[in-house]
Chains A and B, each alone.
Chain A
Amino acid sequence: QKEVEQNSGPLSVPEGAIASLNCTYSDRGSQSFFWYRQYSGKSPELIMSIYSNGDKEDGRFTAQLNKASQYVSLLIRDSQPSDSATYLCAVNSLRGDKLIFGTGTRLQVFP
């Protein structure tokens, strides 16, 4: 079983719509969860972090965590073409401080 799983996409949404990105993880003891955005050829850029069950909102972004279901999601409201990128879900490992990344979901926002 993969440690962090994401649908690779592409997920295509029209400008102004809500994009919903999902992630599941295997280590039940994981405590820290992150969403990174990666443009092609660039480095991962932190968008959101979430540590407890429920929702966390920051501007147009909402992260949702359900530890019982081992599920993390990211909602992007009012999607813009500039949001088109690959979104990486990352989870801390049980053993230490490293992050384990999913393969990423490619989001395409069309005008």
Chain B
Amino acid sequence: EPEVTQTPSHQVTQMGQEVILRCVPISNHLYFYWYRQILGQKVEFLVSFYNNEISEKSEIFDDQFSVERPDGSNFTLKIRSTKLEDSAMYFCASSERNSPLHFGNGTRLTVT
């Protein structure tokens, strides 16, 4: 069964550094998402992406965040200057129109 793949599985970075989290969505899916989950808290929406542009973003997704689909397969989340509070699991998801989201295994980001 096709799946969403995310790399790396764990990323440790120092405060103020830039990180790029990578995702390969399911190949025939058109909608892409990033969610995050701080330890012990709920899964929170960050951004959705369709037709090569952001379709919706949350209040969390401020100027330090950006997303890109640099080629036909990858979908990336960049955090420009990481803060301690950015430490979380970041999940990429993809879907077809009006269909359930399929999640990747996540990247655990630790900011020290």
Q: What 0/1 pattern do residues 1 to 39 of B give for CB contact below 8 A with A?
A: 000000000000000000000000000000101010000
Residue A43 at the chain B interface, CB threshold 8 Å? yes
Classify chain B: how many residues form its interface, as a range.
20 to 34
Across the interface, which residues of A come within 8 angstroms of B95, CB to CB? 97
Secondary structure of the A side of the interface?
A: loop
B29 → chain A closest CB, angstroms: 11
Complex Cα distance, B98 from A98, in Å, reads: 10
Which chain A residues in 19-47 approach chain B with CB under 8 Å? 32, 34, 38, 42-46
Complex Cα distance, B54 from A98, in Å, reads: 12
Could you tell me if B91 and A43 are in contact, using CB atoms closer than 8 angstroms?
yes
Could you tell me if A98 and B45 are in contact, using CB atoms closer than 8 angstroms?
yes
Residue B101 at the chain A interface, CB threshold 8 Å? yes
Classify chain A: how many residues form its interface, as a range.
20 to 34
List chain A positions with a Cβ less than 8 A from chain B.
Answer: 32, 34, 38, 42-46, 49, 88, 90, 93, 95-104
A93 → chain B closest CB, angstroms: 8
Q: Which of the listed residues A34, A88, A97, A99 has the most CB atoms from chain B within 10 Å of its own CB? A: A97
A40 → chain B closest CB, angstroms: 10
A34 → chain B closest CB, angstroms: 6
Could you tell me if B105 and A97 are in contact, using CB atoms closer than 8 angstroms?
no
Known: A43-B105, A46-B100. 6 other contacts (CB 8 A): A43-B91, A44-B43, A44-B91, A46-B102, A101-B42, A102-B42
Could you tell me if A96 and B42 are in contact, using CB atoms closer than 8 angstroms?
no
Across the interface, which residues of A come within 8 angstroms of B41, CB to CB? 103
With contacts A43-B91, A44-B91 known, is A99 near B31, CB below 8 A?
A: no
Could you tell me if A96 and B55 are in contact, using CB atoms closer than 8 angstroms?
yes
